[in-house]
Structure 1
Amino acid sequence: MKNFILIISSVYDFSTDLVVQRLEHNGDNYIRLNKEQLCDYEIFLDPVNATLMVKGEHVDVEISKIKSVWFRQPVFLRNTPGRSININEQLSLSQWNAFLRGLMVFNESYWMNWPQATYAAESKPYQLITAKNIGFSVPQTIISNSLGFDRLHSSKFIIKSIDTVLLKENDDCYFTYTSKANPEDFSLERTRQSPITFQKYIEDKLDVRVTVIDSKVYAVAIKSPSLSA
């Protein structure tokens, strides 16, 4: 039986499209399952014997040897639809979410975004306490559904979401970004609706994005304008 690469992604993930093109060029065996289209397939997972069968959309394979799993955008319920979700859809989303986590039965495969570790790493509060515990300097941070900036020892602060936000309304998508803010932008009535991350503003920031694969470390620095000058 052939070794396969399993890709769990999204129909809107164009980065995955580029990777798939390279896999096809290399002649690699792969299966791409887009989370929005899971219901278009017949999928059978045998967790005891660690086999996966996928049928539909020009795919008909049974896999027991998965070389690697690329789990893109692993937080399944992050995308908020632009309409109300009925009970059946809520049930479907929750069970597909659990199913994708269940692919951890392929624990001898090489994973990018192992679910157990990813769900912990996705938590920004957990990121901060972990960074502090291993010796990094971290900015003062308050997460609150009140006027959290009052507890910061600085008049300059930024706000950000606790988790990545992607909102959908009809055919439009909306994102949130880290933004500088002022106290007059907030009222207790508005902030009580949901918690916000308030964080001391860092001047002349050097943002380093690091990807670790086995023993190899790939780092990219994003400099603020003043540091780039």
Structure 2
Amino acid sequence: MGIDGPVLVLTCADDPTSDVVVSELNNRGVPVFRCDPADVLTGRLEISTHAGADGLRGRLYTEATSMDLASVRSVYYRRPSSYLAPTTMTEQDGRFAKEQAKHGMAGIMAGVRGRWVNHIWRTMEAEFKPAQLIAAREAGFVVSPTIITNRVDDARAFAKEHGSIVYKPLQNTDLAGPGGRAAAIWVNEVDPADLDDSLSLTLHLFQRRVDKVADVRVTVIGDEPFSVRIDSPHLDWRRDYGQVGYTVVDTPEYIARRCRRYLDRFGLLFGAFDFGLTHDGSWIWYECNTGGQWHWLELETGLPMTAALVDLLEITR
């Protein structure tokens, strides 16, 4: 392991959260190599690796510099771009090129030694909501009753049993609204009258609505939990950040312990946990995002999250 080598930051070009991490690493005199793996399809990133008795050896090249993969001390796997085929290719050739690049780069990067925050394979496993739900219950969290289905009769029965229910996407998807602007699907309450045969076209996740007074975001970095209460008039506070209030709160010991148990289940060092806080003070688990945003909370509250994350990347075992 290159304990004095660079931190490899894998993310897209437009990632302000990674910007502050890179800046702090620079301030500490820690070398950094930042790239977007998807740039192998644009020519902005080049790579050559050799498989031998000692594993994969090779270098990454950008226009400005290059890096020996064996020298990496740690990896910050943040938010790489999706692999997009060059527009000059035919549809079939482009699909082939995209899949070759995606599988080649993922396999090579996954073999890089050093501490990962978080490892690409562990991140992929933890992205699946059904796996999250199972792990959350095993970790001891209280989870709202949930159904994942494409059967309209079962969805109606679930709504009848639990009263107020909400819909949540199983995965965030890049969507476009009017004028090509980015669009999002918020967590919404479901009117049972809207449950019709169109449900059969794909899978849907429904949960019993949590009777909450606020939300809590717990960002776990290594062994440090940073908890912020989020007050908003909306069911999904992400609808309007201008109406959100933030308050630093203590993390109950049992919540911190369960968060760590959950992360250990997937082999993760970072997780952004979301909870609903009920009238009686219970914490109801919503989800855990392995690449969740956190820097805006540091700006709002002063919590030293950048320092905690850079400590993980700088100080290797």
| TM-score normalised per structure 2 | 0.60
Deviations 1:81-117 (A, max 9, x none): xxxx92233333333332224322223x110011222
Q: In structure 2, do the counterparts of structure 1 residues 12 and 184 end up closer, same or farther at CA, with 3 Å as the change threshold?
A: farther
Matching residue within 195, 200, 203 for 2:203: 195
Match of 1:214 in 2: 222
Instruction: For residue 120 of structure 1, report the CA deviation from its aligned partner.
Output: 1.8
Q: Secondary structure at the match of 1:7?
A: strand
1:43 aligns with 2:51: no
What is the distance in 2 between the residues matched to 1:57 and 1:199? 49
Match of 2:9 in 1: 7
Q: Secondary structure at the match of 1:192?
A: helix
Matching residue within 65, 71, 74 for 2:77: 71
Contact persistence 1:11–1:35 (CA under 8 A): no
Deviations 1:133-185 (A, max 9, x none): 23222111111223253132222111011111222578532222211121223
1:117 aligns with 2:119: no
Instruction: For residue 129 of structure 1, report the CA deviation from its aligned partner.
Output: 1.3
| Paired letter, 1:67 | R
Match of 2:174 in 1: 166
Instruction: For residue 3 of structure 1, report the CA deviation from its aligned partner.
Output: 0.2
Instruction: For residue 58 of structure 1, report the CA deviation from its aligned partner.
Output: 1.5
| Paired letter, 2:227 | A
| Paired letter, 1:26 | R
Q: In structure 2, do the counterparts of structure 1 residues 67 and 165 end up closer, same or farther at CA, with 3 Å as the change threshold?
A: same
Q: In structure 2, do the counterparts of structure 1 residues 101 and 45 end up closer, same or farther at CA, with 3 Å as the change threshold?
A: same
Contact persistence 1:167–1:174 (CA under 8 A): yes
1:182 aligns with 2:191: yes
After superposing the two structures, state which structure 1 stretch, 62-71 or 90-99, moved more: 90-99
After superposing the two structures, state which structure 1 stretch, 135-144 or 170-179, moved more: 170-179
Match of 1:82 in 2: none
Matched residues, number: 221
Q: In structure 2, do the counterparts of structure 1 residues 228 and 200 end up closer, same or farther at CA, with 3 Å as the change threshold?
A: closer
| Paired letter, 1:13 | D
Contact persistence 1:149–1:157 (CA under 8 A): no
Supply the RMSD in Å over aligned alpha carbons.
3.1
1:130 aligns with 2:139: no
Q: Which has the higher contact order (CA 8 A, sep 6+)?
A: 2
Match of 2:269 in 1: none
Segments of structure 1 that go 5 or more residues without pairing to the other structure are: 80-84
Q: In structure 2, do the counterparts of structure 1 residues 223 and 126 end up closer, same or farther at CA, with 3 Å as the change threshold?
A: farther
| Paired letter, 2:203 | P
Instruction: For residue 9 of structure 1, report the CA deviation from its aligned partner.
Output: 0.6
| Paired letter, 1:5 | V
What is the distance in 2 between the residues matched to 1:205 and 1:120? 32
Q: Secondary structure at the match of 1:58?
A: coil
Q: In structure 2, do the counterparts of structure 1 residues 150 and 205 end up closer, same or farther at CA, with 3 Å as the change threshold?
A: farther
Higher helix share: 2
Percent of pairs with identical residues: 24
Q: In structure 2, do the counterparts of structure 1 residues 151 and 129 end up closer, same or farther at CA, with 3 Å as the change threshold?
A: farther
Q: In structure 2, do the counterparts of structure 1 residues 134 and 167 end up closer, same or farther at CA, with 3 Å as the change threshold?
A: same
